Structure 1
Amino acid sequence: MKLGLLILCCLIPATGTFGQSVVDNPLGDPSNPLVALDEASAALMGEGAEGRSRLLNILLMLTVLTLVPSVLLMCTCFTRVVIILGLLRQAIGTQGLPPGQVLTGLALFLSLYAMAPTLERVWSDGVQPFVSDEQPDYRVAWTNCERPMRDFMFAQIDATGGWSALYALLEHRGMDLTDPTIVAYDDVPTLTLVPAFMLSELRAAFIVGFKIALPFLVIDLVVSSILISMGMMMLPPVLVSLPFKLLLFVLVDGWTLLSVGILGQVADPLSSMIGGFG
C-alpha cells in the first residue's frame, strides 16, 4: 500500500509537466499549423492597399486562366483550323487516323503561331501593365486586352466575307443598318462580335473543306466506276481508293501545303480597315 502511494506521488508532478508543455505550446511556434496559415494569409494580404492589390491580381489571374479554353475556342482561328483538319481526315477516309489528339494539337499550335502578333499585343497593352501595377485599374486593362482581339476578329470577318452574319445579329439587336457605312467598329458589342466571328469561321472552314474533299471524291468515283466495270461490285471501293488518296496527298506534300494555306488565310489585324463598315 505504501509502495503504491509512493509511486502515485512520483507520477503526479510528471503528469503536470507534460500537460503544461502541451497547454503552453506558444502560438508563434512554427510547428503550429494555425500559425502557418495565419502567416500565409498575412503574406498574401500584406499591409494596406498594396496587399489588397496583390490579392486582387492573383484572383484575376486565376479567373483569366479558367477562361482560356473558352477564349481559345471562340476568339481565335482554332475553330477554323480544327474543322479543316477534321474534314481532311473524313475526305481521305482514314477513320481514326491521325488520332483526334494529334489533330487537336496541330490545330492548337497552328492557331498559336497565327495568333502570335495579336497575343503579343494583348500582353504588352493589357496584361503586362496590369501585372506590373503600371495600370492598376482592371477595367482599363480589360479594354486594352479586348481591343487587339476585336481587331483580329474584325479582320477575319472582313477577309472571309462573313459580314452577313454580323449584320443579321446587329439587326436582331435592333440596330439600324440601312446604311452600314455609318456604323463604326466601336458600335459593335463584343457579345455580338464573338458569335458573328465564329459563324464566319465555320463558313470559311467548310468552304476550305469542300475544296479539299473534291480531289478525293474524284478518286473515289473513278475507283468505283472501274470496279463496277470489272464486275467487282462486292469489293468496297474505299479499300482500293485509300492507297491512291494517301499517295496523292503525300506526293503533293499535303500537310505542309495545307498548313501554309491555313496560315495564309489568317488576315493581319494591323492591316485591316479601322473605321466604318465598308
Structure 2
Amino acid sequence: MSLARIITRGSAILACAILLPTQAFAQAQAAAPSAIPGALDRAFGSMGGTGGQGMTLSLQLLMIMGLLTILPSLILMMTSFTRILVVLSILRQALGLQQSPPNQVLIGLSLFLSLFVMAPTLEQVSNRAIQPYSAGTINSEQAIQNAGQEFHKFMIRQTRERDLSMFAEMAKAPKFQNTADVPFSILLPAFVTSELKTAFQIGFMLFLPFLVIDLVVSSVLMSLGMMMMSPMIVSLPFKLLLFVLVDGWALLMGSLASSFG
C-alpha cells in the first residue's frame, strides 16, 4: 500500500476519533485493556504485510503519534481556512500595516469564519456520521466513509477542473466517471491549489484601491518637493479612512463567505 494511502486512511481515522462524542470515548475507556490491541489490529490490519498479519501495537501507536503532527494541517487544508487567511494577510499588506491586526487575530477570525462557512458540511457530518455512530447504528469505518463523503462534496465544488485534471494527469489516474470517484490523494492538492489561486485573485482586487491612494499621495509629495517624507506615512491614514467609510470589514467578510457559494 502506498504511503499516501496510509496517511490518508490514518488521518481519516484520527479525524473521526476527534469528532466522536465524549460518550463514545467513555465507553472505549471502560472497555477491557485487552480489547485495545484487537481494535487497533482491526483498524490497521490491512496496512500490514502479507499473510494477513497486521502491524504490532507499538508500531501502530508510533504511526498514530506521527499522524497527530500532520492532522491539524490536513484538516485545515480540507476547509475554507486557507483562502480566508491568505486574503486577510494580503489585506493587511495592502493597508500598509505590519502587525495590526496581529497574526493571532487573523488566525482566530479565519477559524471562526471557516466554521460559519463549513456549518452546512459539519451538520451533514454530524447527521450522517457522528450521531449514527453514537447510536450504534453504524460502525467506525462507515462513519469515517460518510464523513469523508461530505468533505469530498465541499472540496470538489471549490476545485477548478483544470487543477483537478493537472494532478490526475500527473498521477496517471484513469478518467473518472463522476466527481465522486476522484480520490483524496488527487483532490486534496488540487483543492489547495484552487484555493490559493482564488485567494490571490481576491487579494489583487483588494490591492487596487489602496494602490491608487499610494500613487496619488506619492505624486502630490513629489510635486511639493517633499521627497524625503515617506509616502507610506501619509497614505496610511487615508487608506484606513477609506476602509472604515466603506465598512470594509463587513464587506470583506460577506464577500469571502459568499465566494464559497
Larger Rg: 1
C-alpha deviations, 1:179-218, integer Å up to 9, x for none?
xxx6311321111101100000000000000000000000
Match of 1:202 in 2: 196
5+ long unaligned stretches in structure 1:
1-41, 268-278
C-alpha deviations, 1:52-108, integer Å up to 9, x for none?
77xx99x9xx98987652243210010000000000000000111010000110000
Equivalent position SS for 2:99: coil
Match of 1:213 in 2: 207
Rounded Cα–Cα distance in structure 2 between residues aligned with 1:46 and 1:194: 38
Match of 2:170 in 1: 172
> Which of 233, 239, 251 matches 1:239?
233
Structure 1 counterpart of 2:162, one-letter code: S
Percent identity, please. 46
Tell me: CA distance 1:187–1:99, structure 2 relative to 1, closer, same or farther (3 Å): same
Match of 1:191 in 2: 185
User: How big is the shift at 1:154?
Assistant: 1.0
Question: Aligned-residue CA RMSD in angstroms?
Answer: 2.9
Please tell me whether the aligned partners of residues 72 and 78 of structure 1 are also in contact (alpha carbons under 8 angstroms).
no
Equivalent position SS for 1:139: helix
Tell me: CA distance 1:189–1:227, structure 2 relative to 1, closer, same or farther (3 Å): same
Match of 1:263 in 2: 257
Tell me: CA distance 1:43–1:195, structure 2 relative to 1, closer, same or farther (3 Å): closer
Match of 1:163 in 2: 161
Structure 2 counterpart of 1:166, one-letter code: L
Tell me: CA distance 1:47–1:219, structure 2 relative to 1, closer, same or farther (3 Å): closer
The reply on whether 1:45 has 2:31 as its aligned counterpart is yes
Structure 2 counterpart of 1:90, one-letter code: Q
Rounded Cα–Cα distance in structure 1 between residues aligned with 2:89 and 2:70: 25
TM-score for both structures, normalised by structure 2:
0.74
Tell me: CA distance 1:65–1:118, structure 2 relative to 1, closer, same or farther (3 Å): farther
Structure 1 counterpart of 2:203, one-letter code: G
> Which of 223, 236, 246 matches 1:252?
246
Match of 2:126 in 1: 123
5+ long unaligned stretches in structure 2:
1-27, 44-59
Tell me: CA distance 1:47–1:95, structure 2 relative to 1, closer, same or farther (3 Å): closer
Structure 2 counterpart of 1:263, one-letter code: A
Tell me: CA distance 1:68–1:172, structure 2 relative to 1, closer, same or farther (3 Å): closer
Equivalent position SS for 2:118: helix
Match of 2:22 in 1: none
The reply on whether 1:84 has 2:87 as its aligned counterpart is yes
User: Which runs of structure 2 are paired with 1:43-82 in the superposition (5 Å)?
Assistant: 44-46=30-32, 69-82=72-85
User: How big is the shift at 1:43?
Assistant: 6.5
Equivalent position SS for 1:266: coil
Rounded Cα–Cα distance in structure 1 between residues aligned with 2:255 and 2:229: 36
Rounded Cα–Cα distance in structure 2 between residues aligned with 1:43 and 1:95: 48
Structure 2 counterpart of 1:223, one-letter code: V
